């Protein structure tokens, strides 16, 4: 079994961490899967929540790396991020899609649908399937209920523009596993 990723893994540039998370396994409790799609956000990036400075919502982004930043999207969904770089750099990786591998029955129950390909193919879907809520905001990523393991093999990475943003749309900071059927959207 591949080694666990510790908090130290996240203590470097978000643009190094993001592609290196593709192919890694994320568990939350007894549910989880292989990370197939992420996006990088940095405090100098107009599309990032941390761009305009700390607020109660984004406070975790300004803390040390290796912790979970969870926020409410469109008043309805939860989105899960991993804080990266040195404390205060306020950068994070948004988890956008997983290939489900563990706890399929529980994830189908939470999502209310049977289609395996739709269980975790989006940031909000992924959080619903894994049971991630604001209660996970600020928790360390190398302790339960979280568990991260390095990729089993060197994955083929594709990059492209990020999804659903209106600022800095041209930056190619979306990373995916080439050919995966579990992406939120195809890469161009």
Partner DNA sequence: TGGGCGATTCGCT
Partner DNA sequence: GCGAATCGCCCAC
* List of residues contacting DNA (CB under 7 A): 39, 41, 47-50, 52-53, 55-58, 61, 69, 71-77, 79, 81, 92, 94, 111, 113, 118, 122-126, 162-167, 184
Shortest Å distance, C-beta 71 to DNA: 7
Which C-beta is closer to DNA: that of 84 or that of 148? 84
Question: What string of DSSP letters covers 51-97?
Answer: GG---TTTGGGGS-SSBEEEEEETTTEEEEEEEESSTTS-EEEEEEE
- What are the structure tokens assigned to 19, written together? 């592609």
Which C-beta is closer to DNA: that of 23 or that of 43? 43
Q: Which of 152, 154, 163 is nearest to 186 (CA)?
A: 163
Which C-beta is closer to DNA: that of 79 or that of 144? 79
CA dist., res. 16 & res. 118, Å (int)? 28
Which C-beta is closer to DNA: that of 16 or that of 156? 16
Shortest Å distance, C-beta 138 to DNA: 13
């Amino acid at each position: 079994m591949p080694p666990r990723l510790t908090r130290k893994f996240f203590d470097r540039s978000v643009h190094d961490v993001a592609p290196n998370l593709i192919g890694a396994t994320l568990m939350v409790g007894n549910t989880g899967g292989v990370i197939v799609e992420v996006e990088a956000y940095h405090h100098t990036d107009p599309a990032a929540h941390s761009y305009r400075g700390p607020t109660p919502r984004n406070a975790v982004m300004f803390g040390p790396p290796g912790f979970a930043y969870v926020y409410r999207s469109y008043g309805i969904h939860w989105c899960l991020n991993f804080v990266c770089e040195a404390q205060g750099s306020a950068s994070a990786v948004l988890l956008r899609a997983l290939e489900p591998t563990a706890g399929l029955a529980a994830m189908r129950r939470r999502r209310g649908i049977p289609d395996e390909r739709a269980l975790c193919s989006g940031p909000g879907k992924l959080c619903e399937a894994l049971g991630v809520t604001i209660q996970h905001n600020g928790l360390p990523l190398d302790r339960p209920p979280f568990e991260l393991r390095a990729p089993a093999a060197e994955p083929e990475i594709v990059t492209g523009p990020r999804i659903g943003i209106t600022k800095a749309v041209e930056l190619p900071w979306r990373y995916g596993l080439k050919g995966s059927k579990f992406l939120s959207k195809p890469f161009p």
